[in-house]
Amino acid sequence: MIIDTVTLKDLDEIYNLERRSFKKDSFSKELILNLIIKNTCFFKLIDDESSNSIIGFIIIIQDREERVNLINFLIKKGERKRGYGSFLLRHTLKKVKTIDKIKTIVLNVNSKNKAAISLYQKFDFRIAQRIENYYRDKQSAYLMILDI
């Protein structure tokens, strides 16, 4: 397993994974394109360099001087519950810790998304707030925070 930075060549594959997982709540292709161009912390998990088949990805943006926001994270269906999500998140947190001044990592997660919430809690994220009507279909979200 290899973790690498996402490039423009990955755009279609990332977008297809995104649509399959998040359906109407998925990021648009334009947004993903912009995140790649802007040199965001945008990592992919691949089998090996020769196949470049993407198993999952994670996106983190710096939205305040002292804070980053984990805005997207997924592991492909059929590859979940094998430790890949933890592997990718652990790598990303290590990178974030090397960025100057960053004190916290925040994220929003659907309050019904037990898999993700449990994974984040394993990494010591805590639920800081419940946000009603956060998603298009009016479902609520949790704001989760990790101090680093």
Ligand X SMILES: CC(C)(COP(=O)(O)OP(=O)(O)OC[C@H]1O[C@@H](n2cnc3c(N)ncnc32)[C@H](O)[C@@H]1OP(=O)(O)O)[C@@H](O)C(=O)NCCC(=O)NCCS
Among 2, 115, 128, 148, binds ligand X (CB under 6 A): 115
The Cα angle at residue 111 between residues 76 and 120, in degrees rounded to 5: 60
Q: Is 17 among the residues that bind ligand X (CB under 6 A)?
A: no
Q: Among 25-33, 45-53, 108-116, 132-140, which window interacts with ligand X (CB under 6 A)?
A: 108-116
**Tokens describing residue 117:** 């919430």
According to DSSP, the β-strands at 2-5 and 41-46 are antiparallel
Which residue in the set 20, 95, 122, 130 belongs to the binding site for ligand X (CB under 6 A)? 122
63 token code pair: 């939205």
First to last CA, the chain: 26
Question: Contact between 86 and ligand X (CB under 6 A)?
Answer: yes
45 binds ligand X (CB under 6 A): no
CB of 106 to ligand X, least distance (A): 11
Edge-to-edge strand list for the sheet holding 41-46: 2-5, 41-46, 54-64, 67-75, 104-110, 141-147, 126-131
> Angle CA(48)–CA(49)–CA(54) in degrees, nearest 5?
65
Under the binding rule (CB under 6 A), the answer on residue 135 touching ligand X is: no
Task: Find tokens 């710096």 and name the residue.
Answer: 62
Beta-carbon neighbour count of residue 74 at 10 Å? 22
Which is closer to ligand X, CB of 9 or CB of 77? Answer: 77
Stretch that binds ligand X, among 32-40, 41-49, 90-98, 106-114 (CB under 6 A): 106-114
Q: Which of 3, 119, 127, 145: binder of ligand X (CB under 6 A)?
A: 119
- Tell the smallest beta-carbon distance from residue 55 to ligand X (Å): 9
| Contact positions vs ligand X (CB under 6 A) | 21, 73-75, 80-86, 107, 109, 113-116, 118-119, 122
